[in-house]
A and B are shown apart, each in its own frame.
Chain A
């Protein structure tokens, strides 16, 4: 049993960041930074319950999108016999544990098949499972460098290419990267940091009443998880519905030049590297508008999108200067 997502007290930035990635998976994932014991992992795991259904090619090992890019096997099937059978399945959260080996991540030769049938076949790894799903890395800053390299590789291309043990194979690997980390345990490599579309900072709740509420809900969940789930059923269903509606509404939201100008003004003033920040901010603001039931992107959405999309992209500076930069960003946001 997983703690209900809607029962997490506060931490709105983190919850919104996750939801926006469900609404628009192209935002590029979420990194959650914060101390231990602030419901980071709980939130990601709890998200699974709210995830919508996807259309996928039936029987495909990579959950290919019938309307999108297909894996080699589906392409073959398509050529041979017309339309592909479509199945509906729920989007998932696939976990990438620390200490994962290369072969389990990217896939490898199917040993048993090779032994029994004497023919080589590809045995998919976690990247195959993660296609069109969330890929969740707990303590992502502790992940080994060579695993990070592989992740970055396929995250950039949206494709996993395997050349090993005499098997060569390519399959789509578009996943939403969700990571949690405690910055006290060490930093994240800058390339990986930038790969996360959004970043949410979580801190412990310092307000007494909320703190008591957190404890009450945790104790209630520990005592009887089933009862807790039933008690939060209504909230869960409601949020699920809102996410679905936002997904449907998203294509109709056309951000105007006005919104674009505001975004560019902020990113230019902060002199950020590259253009990823601008693009991510635009997508985030748009998904936010859809989630809030609006038909256009307004200043409020841009402000909230900036908080999620820019924090981890600002230049790293000594602590005192960091404060000054935060001040500057506040000024910029107030200006829009």
Chain B
């Protein structure tokens, strides 16, 4: 099947072609749902590459040994000296490595792959062997954006990224079906010919690269675009330059022009933007909204306005000019800085751990724990958790010396133990009401404070934190699961609030996140904190918001290894009290507290107590 005959997806094809022209373009990441042809296109791309250019697929079950290389057992035993067996990456030099469903690849394998790619060389120092070989390759990968847990610094490693949007146009969909069934709808020989022409064109373009000149203004234009995207580091500049140069070469030009830069900018820069441009959504939709909930009363508005004034820069909408009356009828959008003062109590989790560790209980409970994924072997480890493969490898070179007559002789010194990965034990998910109702700022500040404390103090960084904000018509995962205080601070620096209250969307997002993370990391436990007044005024489907909330709450209650806390933000001094959050807590069998209590580090102590209970229950079970 041909590359040229692939229906649509011109940007994806352009990205691949540019990478075929110049390997310095840095590879491509495809973001798209399952079954939209990402792997098909990547594999067809092989047809454009000159004979001999490696195209290696990295299987998701690849081990570190398989990836980087390790001991060749058979040869080592036979020859009585350590022999090396090269890994997958050794075959990739000067070519491409393709990873399908990169989000499913174990993080440490991905980190190793990217590390090798970044240095352009593979260096292995293990089991008495040193191996160093060139490994300059481009990564092609596909990912389901719904599973987007790739942290930004890993995304940045890709030279380009292409989003595969939904194709709804009937004729195009029909063409896709046709091309997917070549038995029924044979491809015209014309497509194959076009592939050959394209391959030739790529070859010609490649030969143009060296002599390519740069028009005036191109460098300035590139630097401007990179600065504006506020991306991290300088790799983006470099990728942008090479992509623009390859584009100019493809177009048969002998100099790079600003038009070339423009043509490749979305491919290179979109996934690097760290600060999205301010939302310029039309406010019309907001204006048509019904009056905000009653607790949006003038008194609170006044205090909120006072708060805003005392923290200039915390408000990006410039709404100081807006009259208070108008403000009341309009759920405002505002952004609160993470630097808002919040009386943070230090989280004394660390001391607690050490104490329990010294009593021996924690250590004991760990020593019997053989759960977790076997990632590599070590010479010291848990009794009985022997890594057979590594033990045999260690014994292999000594077999001739030991003269086992064809039987394997293993001495105690050969024994290797399994190192298992169980880094994450808890994921704390904060689900926060970001709507324009009263106290939005307070909720945000309190939640950010709690997230900061959790991340700064969680011992050994076993714990991760995520944050979902629901506002307007949707819920957004504003902070993907992370243990990095740095990343959290960056993601939470700006947090827009305002709009309606799609509580059910928030709940559903939390539900999905628990399910997905549970699949990814079995054994992970979840703490879900819902910070809301329980009111919903926007729903996902056709039912009433209340019905939807209780239905999803019922689903959530069934989630395994998940504990809930509802933090009620309803103004209890207000005239109308609905007590909706209390009802939600009952539906979820959740713990309940009021937002006033939250400020006395209730969130953290709750998390702490839940964890303690669990670890105690666990050690009792043993």
Q: Give A residues with C-beta under 8 Å from B.
A: 34-39, 41, 95-105, 108, 111-112, 114-115, 123, 126, 138-139, 142, 144, 146, 164-166, 182-187, 204-206, 208, 211-212, 214-216, 218-219, 222-223, 316-320, 323
* A184 close to B241 (CB less than 8 A): no
Given contacts A97-B123, A104-B130, contact A186 B483 (CB under 8 A): yes
Q: Which residues of B contact A165 (CB under 8 A)?
A: 413
Task: Tell me, rounded to whole Å, the shortest Cβ–Cβ distance linking B402 to chain A.
Answer: 10
Chain A neighbourhood of B340, CB < 8 A: 320
In contact, A101 and B126 (Cβ under 8 angstroms): yes
Cβ of B151 < 8 Å from any Cβ of A?
yes
Least Cβ–Cβ distance between B394 and chain A, in angstroms: 8
How far in angstroms is the closest Cβ of chain B from A211?
A: 5
Task: Given A104-B127, A208-B223, output 15 extra A-B contacts at Cβ < 8 Å.
Answer: A36-B153, A97-B124, A98-B115, A99-B126, A101-B126, A104-B129, A114-B401, A144-B419, A146-B380, A186-B483, A187-B484, A204-B234, A212-B223, A215-B222, A215-B223
Chain B interface residue number, banded: 35 or more
Q: Give 27 A-B contacts (CB < 8 Å), ordered by A residue.
A: A34-B233, A35-B232, A36-B153, A37-B234, A95-B123, A97-B125, A99-B124, A99-B376, A103-B128, A104-B127, A104-B128, A111-B81, A111-B128, A111-B397, A115-B398, A138-B115, A144-B419, A183-B486, A184-B487, A185-B153, A204-B232, A211-B227, A212-B223, A214-B234, A215-B234, A215-B238, A318-B456
Q: Is B333 an interface residue (CB 8 A)?
A: no
Chain A residues with CB under 8 Å of B401's CB are 114-115
Taking a contact as CB atoms under 8 Å apart, the answer to whether A164 and B379 are in contact is yes
- Does any Cβ of A come within 8 Å of B290's Cβ? no
Contact B234–A100 (Cβ < 8 Å): no
A126 to B129, CA, bound (A): 11
**Which chain A residue lies CB-closest to B488?**
A319
Chain B, residue nearest A97 (CB): B123
Residue on B nearest A321 in the bound complex, by CB: B344
Residues of B within 8 A of A186 (CB): 461, 483-484
A85 to B378, alpha carbons, bound, how many Å? 39
Given known A115-B81, A204-B233, contact A216–B219 (CB-CB < 8 A):
yes
Q: Which residues of B contact A212 (CB under 8 A)?
A: 219-220, 222-223
Whether B219 pairs with A205 at a CB distance below 8 angstroms is no
Contact among B64, B115, B235 for A139, CB-based, below 8 A:
B115
Residue of A at shortest CB range from B240?
A: A215
Q: Which residues of chain A are near B126, meaning CB under 8 Å? A: 99-101, 103-104
Whole-angstrom distance between the Cβ of B330 and the nearest chain A Cβ: 30
Given A186-B483, A204-B233, A215-B237, decide whether A41 and B119 contact each other with a Cβ distance below 8 A: yes
Q: Which of B68, B397, B419, B485 has the most CB of A within 10 A?
A: B485
Q: Which residues of B contact A35 (CB under 8 A)?
A: 153, 232-233
Q: Which residues of A contact B339 (CB under 8 A)?
A: 319-320, 323
Asked whether A104 and B125 contact (CB < 8 A) given A38-B234, A214-B234, the answer is yes
Partner of A111, one of B82, B108, B130: B82
In the assembled complex, B550 has its CB within 8 A of some CB on chain A: no
Is B449 in the interface zone, CB < 8 Å from A? yes
CA distance A216 to B237 in the complex (A): 10
Contact digits for B386-407, partner A, Cβ 8 Å, 1 yes 0 no: 0000000000011011000000
B481 to chain A, nearest CB (A): 13
From DSSP, what is the main secondary structure of chain B's interface residues?
A: helix
CB distance from A97 to the nearest CB of B (A): 4
In the complex the two chains form, is B233's CB within 8 Å of A318's CB?
no
Residue numbers in B under 8 Å from A316 (CB-CB): 456
Contact at B238–A223, with CB atoms within 8 Å?
A: no
Contact status B484-A211, CB under 8 Å: no
Known: A101-B127, A206-B227. A146 touches B378 (CB 8 A): yes
Asked whether any CB of chain A lies closer than 8 Å to the CB of B259, the reply is no
Do B223 and A211 have beta carbons less than 8 Å apart? yes
Docked complex Cα distance between A41 and B250 (Å) = 33
Given contact pairs A104-B126, A184-B151, A218 touches B487 in the complex (Cβ within 8 A)? no
User: CB-CB < 8 A to A99: which residues of B?
Assistant: 64, 68, 112, 124, 126, 376
A318 touches B449 (CB 8 A): yes
A149 to chain B: closest residue by CB: B380
Q: Tell me, in angstroms, the Cα distance from A38 to B237 when the chains sit together.
A: 11
Indicate with 1 or 0, residue by residue over B177-189, a CB within 8 angstroms of chain A CB atoms: 0000000000000
Contact of A101 among B118, B125, B484 (CB under 8 A): B125
Residues of B within 8 A of A215 (CB): 219, 222-223, 234, 237-238, 241
Q: Nearest residue in A to B414 (C-beta to C-beta)? A: A165
Residues of A near B344 (CB, < 8 A) are 318
Instruction: Looking at the assembled complex, report how far the CB atom of A296 sits from the nearest CB atom of chain B, in whole angstroms.
Output: 38
Inside 8 A of B108's CB, which chain A residues have their CB?
Answer: 142
B residues whose Cβ falls under 8 Å from a Cβ of A: 24, 64, 68, 80-82, 108, 111-112, 115, 118-119, 123-130, 151-153, 156-157, 210, 219-220, 222-224, 226-227, 231-238, 241, 338-341, 344, 376, 378-380, 397-398, 400-401, 413, 419, 449, 452-453, 456, 461, 483-487, 489-490
On whether the beta carbons of A36 and B232 are closer than 8 Å, the reply is: yes
Residues of chain B with a CB closer than 8 A to A319's CB: 338-339, 452, 485, 489
What residues of chain A lie closer than 8 Å to B400, measured between beta carbons?
115
Task: Check B210 against A223 for contact (C-beta < 8 Å).
Answer: yes
B125 touches A138 (CB 8 A): no
What distance in Å separates the Cβ of A86 from its nearest Cβ neighbour in chain B?
A: 28
Q: Which residue of A lies closest to B453 (CB)?
A: A318
For A97, the chain B residues whose CB sits under 8 A away are 123-125
In-complex Cβ contact of B125 among A38, A41, A126, A223 (8 A): A126
Contact of A184 among B115, B153, B220 (CB under 8 A): B153
A39 to B24, CA, bound (A): 17
Determine whether the beta carbon of B234 is less than 8 Å from that of A184.
Answer: no
Find chain B residues with CB under 8 A from A317 CB. Answer: 456
Q: Which of B24, B82, B108, B123 has the most CB of A within 10 A?
A: B123
When the two chains form the complex, which single residue of B24, B115, B236, B486 contacts A222, counting CB atoms closer than 8 Å? B24
Of B24, B237, B419, the most chain A CB neighbours within 10 A belong to B237
For A218, give the chain B residue with the smallest CB separation.
B238
Contacts of B379 in A (CB 8 A): 102-103, 164
B345 to chain A, nearest CB (A): 11
From A112, A182, A320, A323, contact of B153 by CB (8 A): A182
Is A211 a contact partner of B151 (Cβ separation < 8 A)?
no
In contact, A37 and B127 (Cβ under 8 angstroms): no
Whole-angstrom distance between the Cβ of A109 and the nearest chain B Cβ: 9
B223 contacts which chain A residues (CB < 8 A)? Answer: 208, 211-212, 215
How far, in angstroms, from A206 to B228 measured CA to CA in the complex? 10
- Report the minimum CB–CB distance from A198 to chain B (whole Å): 20
Complex interface: chain A residues within 8 A of B128 (CB): 103-104, 108, 111, 123
- Taking CB atoms, residues of chain A closer than 8 Å to B82 are 111
By a CB distance below 8 angstroms, the chain B residues around A205 are 234
A318–B452 touching, CB < 8 Å: yes
Q: Which residues of A contact B419 (CB under 8 A)?
A: 144, 146
Whole-angstrom CA separation of A114 from B220 in the bound complex = 63
A208 to B217, CA, bound (A): 13
Known: A97-B124, A164-B379. A211 touches B487 (CB 8 A): no
* Docked complex Cα distance between A99 and B127 (Å): 11
Report if A185-B125 is in contact (Cβ < 8 Å); known contacts: A36-B156, A38-B234, A115-B401. Answer: no
- A316 and B234 CA atoms in complex are apart in Å by 28
Give the CA-CA distance A185 to B155 in the complex, in Å.
12
Say yes or no: B237 contacts A211, CB within 8 Å: yes
CA distance A320 to B492 in the complex (A): 13
A38 and B233 CA atoms in complex are apart in Å by 5
- Shortest distance in angstroms between A322's beta carbon and chain B's nearest beta carbon? 9
Counting chain A CB atoms within 10 Å of each CB, the highest count among B219, B226, B340, B453 belongs to B219
- Which residue, A36, A41, A139, A223, has most C-beta atoms of chain B within 10 A? A36
Distance in angstroms from B482 CB to nearest chain A CB is: 8
Q: State the 3 A-B residue pairs at the shortest beta-carbon distance, nearest first.
A: A37-B233, A37-B235, A35-B232
Q: Which B residues touch A95, using CB under 8 A?
A: 123
Contact B238 A320 (CB under 8 A): no
CB-defined contacts of A105 to chain B, threshold 8 Å: 125
